[in-house]
Chain A
Amino acid sequence: MTALVAPLTRLMQIRFGPSAEVHAMTRLSGGASQETWGFNLHVSGQSPRALILRRAPFESSAKGEAIGLVKEAQIIAAAAQIGTPVPEIIHVCLPEDGLGDAFIMAHVAGQTIARKILRDEEFSLARRRLAFQCGESLAKIHQVGLFHLPQDLPVSHGLDQLDRYEAIFRGFDMHRPVFELALAWLREHAPAPLPTTLVHGDFRNGNLMVNAKGLAAVLDWELAHQGDPREDLGWICVNSWRFGIRDKRVGGFGSLEELLAGYQTAGGQPFEPSDITWFQALGSFKWGIMCLIMYQAFATKADPSIERAMIGRRASEAEIDLLNLIEGRPHA
């Protein structure tokens, strides 16, 4: 942390004048490929301002499918222009800033922990609106002009992702009949792709900042790509993000009908719930394989934590969700 305070203070003084000071710097979250830090900016004559530093650790380049922080900031700025609720981007770091691949954004007050959003009294009004608001936000994200995006932003549609995750699964040499069944079902039912749009790529509980009035900001754009807009609508329906409230298909807080109504109201194309089911099943399949990928990080000793090991046992939750979807069961 101390290694970051000096360059961050220097940067804040360049941006906000020589009286700028960095206070209460705290690590909010972090993994192998990125870290999120909160801090307070003090400038004489102004009230303190809560800001967020998002950066990649010095020793790592962008890993996996993450697009890197500079592109992430560029996409957030493009989404903001069209009215998506996102944190204001304050500064995109340059090499001379000494903070590595990083950007600084405004802190948005609220809650991201699903169990609180889904159960605490203070979010009871928010819960009633959230699915509609998520639909509105997704419609805006999907209307961002592709010319505003980084030119090399990855393109991946539903079947590209099915191919990619199948290849990863085959590489593990694990024999799981439900994943085989899901692959067969997904291949047979694949819808024709829609024209390419910006896709958030990880629009779900945990990445949505929610306050008492509802959706305050869409966070964590590191998996953004160009693809099929139905991918985002299906991903937030995956049962794993409902945290036990299974009859509310959208994130455990709302119905798919509400999500699609919000989507259409904000200019999105009219979809039927049945248009989304395939992408939800793709999402459950991807989540199941992700659990196995995280277990592999443990098995290969890349990350020896008990948490990485245990997440491998969550692959079976994706299996029951896939069976429920394939059989068309209620609340699947």
Chain B
Amino acid sequence: MHEAPSSEELLGSVIGFLNQVAAPQLSGQAAFHARVAANALALIEREMAHKPAADARAQALYAALLADLTSPLEALNQQICAQIRDGCLSYKDPALLAALREVTLAQLAIDQPTYSGLLP
């Protein structure tokens, strides 16, 4: 196995090609979609960098809320949804709000890091 160039280097190179070479030579919808494609790759770049830590943190936060230290993240996430839906967890619970805020901010840092809603 070798990693030269690395996934990150390859992604960065394709993003640069789309933004600096392809998009300026295209027009209309094609130019727009080239830039959206570059944005999609930049999102993947952020996800590769941040998702493992973000998922681990979400798992810890949900595990604490549900007092369930064994279930995997997806099962915890579904449990949180179910408990909000049946009223066991409420928007009045500061711990729930704090956990959802932290998880949502981490997701936004991947999805849309310049969104104004991220500001305190």
Quick check: is A317 within 8 A (CB to CB) of the other chain?
yes
Contact A310 to B40, CB < 8 A, known contacts A305-B33, A316-B107:
yes
Q: Would you give the shortest CB distance from A206 to chain B, in whole angstroms? A: 15
Quick check: is B72 within 8 A (CB to CB) of the other chain?
no
Query: Do B33 and A317 touch (CB < 8 A)?
Result: no
Quick check: is A62 within 8 A (CB to CB) of the other chain?
no
CA distance A117 to B32 in the complex (A): 20
Q: Which of A158-198 contact B (CB under 8 A)?
A: 175-178, 180-181, 183-185
**Which listed segment binds A: B2-10, B19-27, B76-84?**
B76-84
Query: Do B104 and A316 touch (CB < 8 A)?
Result: yes
Query: Do B40 and A177 touch (CB < 8 A)?
Result: no
Query: Do B111 and A316 touch (CB < 8 A)?
Result: yes
| Chain A residues within 8 Å of chain B by Cβ, number | 31
Specify which of B32, B91, B116, B119 is in contact with A185 (CB 8 Å cutoff): B91
Q: Which of B78, B80, B91, B101 counts the most A-chain CB atoms under 10 A from its CB?
A: B91
CA distance A39 to B95 in the complex (A): 58
Q: Which of A177, A183, A326 counts the most B-chain CB atoms under 10 A from its CB?
A: A177
Query: Do B112 and A175 touch (CB < 8 A)?
Result: no
Closest to A244 in B: B116
Query: Do A323 and B100 touch (CB < 8 A)?
Result: yes
Q: Would you give the shortest CB distance from B33 to chain A, in whole angstroms? A: 6
Q: Which of B93-109 contact A (CB under 8 A)?
A: 96-97, 100-101, 103-105, 107-108
Query: Do A242 and B116 touch (CB < 8 A)?
Result: yes
CA distance A307 to B89 in the complex (A): 36
Query: Do B84 and A177 touch (CB < 8 A)?
Result: yes
| Chain B residues within 8 Å of chain A by Cβ, number | 34
CA distance A242 to B42 in the complex (A): 24
Task: Report chain A residues within 8 Å CB of B112.
Answer: 313-314, 316-317
Q: Which of B32-81 contact A (CB under 8 A)?
A: 32-33, 36-37, 39-40, 43, 74, 77-78, 80-81
CA distance A326 to B87 in the complex (A): 16
Q: Would you give the shortest CB distance from A215 to chain B, in whole angstroms? A: 23
CA distance A296 to B36 in the complex (A): 18
CA distance A242 to B117 in the complex (A): 10
Query: Do A323 and B116 touch (CB < 8 A)?
Result: no
Task: Report chain A residues within 8 Å CB of B105.
Answer: 320
CA distance A320 to B103 in the complex (A): 10
Quick check: is A222 within 8 A (CB to CB) of the other chain?
no
Task: Report chain A residues within 8 Å CB of B114.
Answer: 244
Task: Report chain A residues within 8 Å CB of B39.
Answer: 310
Query: Do B111 and A180 touch (CB < 8 A)?
Result: no
Query: Do B33 and A327 touch (CB < 8 A)?
Result: no
CA distance A286 to B100 in the complex (A): 19
Q: Would you give the shortest CB distance from A12 to chain B, in whole angstroms? A: 27
Query: Do B80 and A177 touch (CB < 8 A)?
Result: yes
Quick check: is A321 within 8 A (CB to CB) of the other chain?
yes
Q: Would you give the shortest CB distance from A253 to chain B, in whole angstroms? A: 14
Q: Would you give the shortest CB distance from B111 to chain A, in whole angstroms? A: 4
Query: Do A180 and B84 touch (CB < 8 A)?
Result: yes
Contact A178 to B43, CB < 8 A, known contacts A184-B84, A314-B112, A320-B115:
no
Task: Report chain A residues within 8 Å CB of B33.
Answer: 305-307
Q: Which of A227-251 contact B (CB under 8 A)?
A: 239, 242, 244-246
CA distance A319 to B103 in the complex (A): 10
Q: Would you give the shortest CB distance from B100 to chain A, in whole angstroms? A: 6
Additional A-B contact list (6), CB under 8 Å, known A177-B84, A178-B104: A177-B80, A181-B100, A185-B91, A246-B116, A319-B107, A319-B108
Question: Can you offer 19 A-B residue contacts whose CB atoms are under 8 A?
Answer: A175-B74, A177-B80, A177-B103, A178-B100, A180-B81, A184-B87, A184-B90, A246-B117, A310-B40, A313-B111, A314-B111, A316-B108, A319-B104, A320-B117, A323-B97, A324-B117, A326-B97, A327-B97, A327-B101
**Chain A contact residues, CB within 8 Å of chain B:** 175-178, 180-181, 183-185, 239, 242, 244-246, 305-307, 309-310, 313-314, 316-317, 319-321, 323-324, 326-327, 331
**Chain B contact residues, CB within 8 Å of chain A:** 32-33, 36-37, 39-40, 43, 74, 77-78, 80-81, 84-85, 87, 90-91, 96-97, 100-101, 103-105, 107-108, 111-112, 114-119
